[in-house]
A and B are shown apart, each in its own frame.
Chain A
Amino acid sequence: MSGGATTSPYLPSAVTIEKITIENEAKDLRTFRLAFCEEADAAAFSHACGQFAILSVAGAGESPIGIASSPLDSGYVEFTVKRYPTGVVTTALHAMEEGDQIGLRGPYGNAFPMRALEGKNIVIVGGGFAFTTLRATIRWILHEQNRARYGNVTVIYGARSPGELLYKDELKGWEARSDIDMFVTVDKGDEGWTGREGFVPTVLQEVAPSADNAVVLVCGPPIMLKFTMPPLLQLGFSPETIITSLERRMTCGLGKCGRCNVGNKYVCKDGPVFTFKEIQALPEGAL
């Protein structure tokens, strides 16, 4: 912990914004590449796919954001942040420039069970800007030291419009590869769009990935998740093999402050990753 007179779980580490990438046409999604100011903080930080961290802008507050970079991306951590007009912290973050200093604490939460998934075919279904931790996971799987550990990798990713797709250059790179099957779709295309049109659940049914020896990692807005579960079950995925990530307002990230409590689980500590089976056991409306 840098500069602190005591070890406080609430004190963020100082990080510098190394790079800001504007991701979408609406310019309300930016990817922040952060590097720790202190070597000890950098050495102490290690995360797994699916975890989140809490970003801190002194004077504005803190916000929990999924980690968008792979655990194997060394030297930096990336977060894609959506700015909401009512979001005090996300608005403050979007006003920052490269070279500015902010705070980070974490990583928090559980992760996608990547070790347990070795040997399996992986289906990744993402919608909107919930694609961030899935992007971390794809980068991790595609890394040369990992790719052979997994079977087929199928990615279905959708956004409202072509301009809203995240990580556009990276998507092109993945589409050019033979070891990953990409199905990128938009709700509605524009004049320049030659790709797929249609909602994620519909495209999922068309692609119809096999459930044999497969798991599906699915992240998206609540409405997409709601309409994605029935076709996944129909395709033969059992609730244990459907893995998703829940979102809730969070403050502490430690399972204490009470905000993200669902049933006796805390999304920040016991999640954010849950199987659909675990979600079915939670009180109604957990998705």
Chain B
Amino acid sequence: MEKGIIGKSELAKLVEAMAADATCLGPVKDGQDTVLAELGPDTELSFDYANFRLPVKRLFFPQSEVTCVLRDGQLVALPPPDEKTVLFGVRPCDAQALPYLTKIFSDEKYEDPYYLKRRENAVIVSLACHTPCSTCFCTSLGGSPAGRAGCDILAFDLGHELLLEAETEKGKALLAAHEALFAAPTDAQVTAAAEQGAAAEASMAKIETDGITEKADQAFDAPLWEEIAARCVACGVCTYLCPTCHCFGFADEQVGNRTQRVKCQDACMFPLFTLEASGHNPRTTQGQRLRQRIMHKFSYTVKNVGEIFCVGCGRCVLYCPVNIDLREIIEEVRK
């Protein structure tokens, strides 16, 4: 089944049906925020949100997770969680980031079972944005408010109903499994959804990113990094909230009488990130660290895995406590 219409009032039934063999998460109001939370039969879904504060990457690459525990004097690996999930209401920018992360967490010699198992078990249902934020710039980086990259199903909010369009076999299978709950869309509904997507896309401001990789390489020794970083407080929020940032570390910890090794998200914006036990630190200034973050996204990943590691979600712009604006950095670099 490729496309289906479902009334918003029928969604509870769909959630209940899906919950038989999967954990369902969807957008739920939490104070002023909307968060991606587990859905029960009576959970009220929110459709009035720009995006979640935390990127969806956290469900595949969590802030911390135990990878090994010590048993009888020997470390043993914990298996990755093996649980089917359906993520409803993911914004297209967050979905676009997932294939990028897959390129990091798997290659010809390496597979991160924790990321890959979760990814394999998840069906991503994106919800197209109709009113992008002022900080959104996905269209400048190959995305769109109705972008389909990385999702299994793309949903459009048509007021009283949702139109769901399957993008992958996984998406088609999900629609087919619950076929009875869906009506066939009319041509008018399909057209309305397409027009809505196009209108949202047209409403967005675009920044120039042509040649950003070459320009960033050329700007490596430019003074702009230290100038921009002068007000950076190295809080790392730009990396934790970034849907594509993927640096991590390990920490051994003792919990009760259990010794365990935890894989944690980490950030290149921290001075300790590269500090060696000898005291040597290859990146001693915040400007060097900020440069590392930008170069990594706009040059190194392009050379290594063929993608700019920015989807224009705007979180780093929105939540930076000192108003460092990635869009302005891109503009500066391109000068």
Contacts and interface: CB of A to CB of B under 8 A. Distances in A.
Given A5-B77, A251-B249, A11 B110 contact: no
A147 interface: no
B223 interface: no
Contact of A264 (B79, B80, B275, B299): B299
B247 A259 contact: yes
A86 B275 CA distance: 11
B292 interface: yes
Contacts of B274: 248-249, 259
A103 interface: yes
A256 interface: yes
A263 interface: yes
B71 interface: yes
B62 interface: no
B77 A248 contact: no
B67 A61 contact: no
B240 to A, nearest CB: 14
A59 B296 contact: no
B55 to A, nearest CB: 17
Contacts of B79: 5-6
B47 interface: no
B268 interface: yes
B42 interface: no
Contact of B250 (A4, A10, A59, A249): A10
Contacts of B75: 11-12, 14, 56, 58, 103
A2 B74 contact: yes
Given A8-B68, A258-B266, A86 B110 contact: no
Given A101-B74, A248-B282, A9 B110 contact: yes
B77 A264 contact: no
B40 interface: no
A101 B72 CA distance: 11
Interface in B261-285: 261, 263, 266, 268, 273-280, 282
A51 B58 CA distance: 33
B77 A4 contact: yes
Contact of A58 (B70, B109, B110, B300): B70
Interface string B241-261: 000001111111010000101
Of B77, B247, B292, the most chain A CB neighbours within 10 A belong to B77
B76 interface: yes
Interface in A1-36: 1-12, 14
A87 B296 CA distance: 28
B303 to A, nearest CB: 4
A162 B251 CA distance: 38
Interface in A249-280: 249, 251-252, 254-259, 261-264
Contacts of B304: 264
A255 B296 CA distance: 13
A258 B80 contact: no
A117 B204 CA distance: 58
Contacts of A3: 71, 74, 76
Of B75, B78, B252, the most chain A CB neighbours within 10 A belong to B75
A221 to B, nearest CB: 9
A255 to B, nearest CB: 8
A12 B261 CA distance: 11
B73 A257 contact: no
B278 to A, nearest CB: 6
Nearest to B267: A258
B252 A60 contact: yes
A247 interface: yes
Contact of B76 (A5, A87, A247, A261): A5
Nearest to A262: B282
A190 interface: no
Given A3-B71, A11-B68, 13 more contacts: A3-B74, A6-B113, A8-B67, A8-B113, A8-B114, A59-B254, A61-B251, A103-B75, A251-B248, A254-B110, A255-B110, A258-B266, A285-B282
Interface of B: 67-68, 70-71, 73-80, 104-105, 109-114, 220-221, 246-252, 254, 259, 261, 263, 266, 268, 273-280, 282, 292, 296, 299-300, 303-304
25 contacts: A5-B77, A6-B77, A6-B80, A8-B68, A10-B261, A11-B67, A58-B75, A58-B261, A59-B70, A59-B252, A87-B277, A90-B277, A101-B73, A101-B74, A249-B275, A251-B249, A254-B110, A256-B110, A257-B248, A258-B246, A258-B268, A258-B273, A261-B268, A264-B299, A264-B303
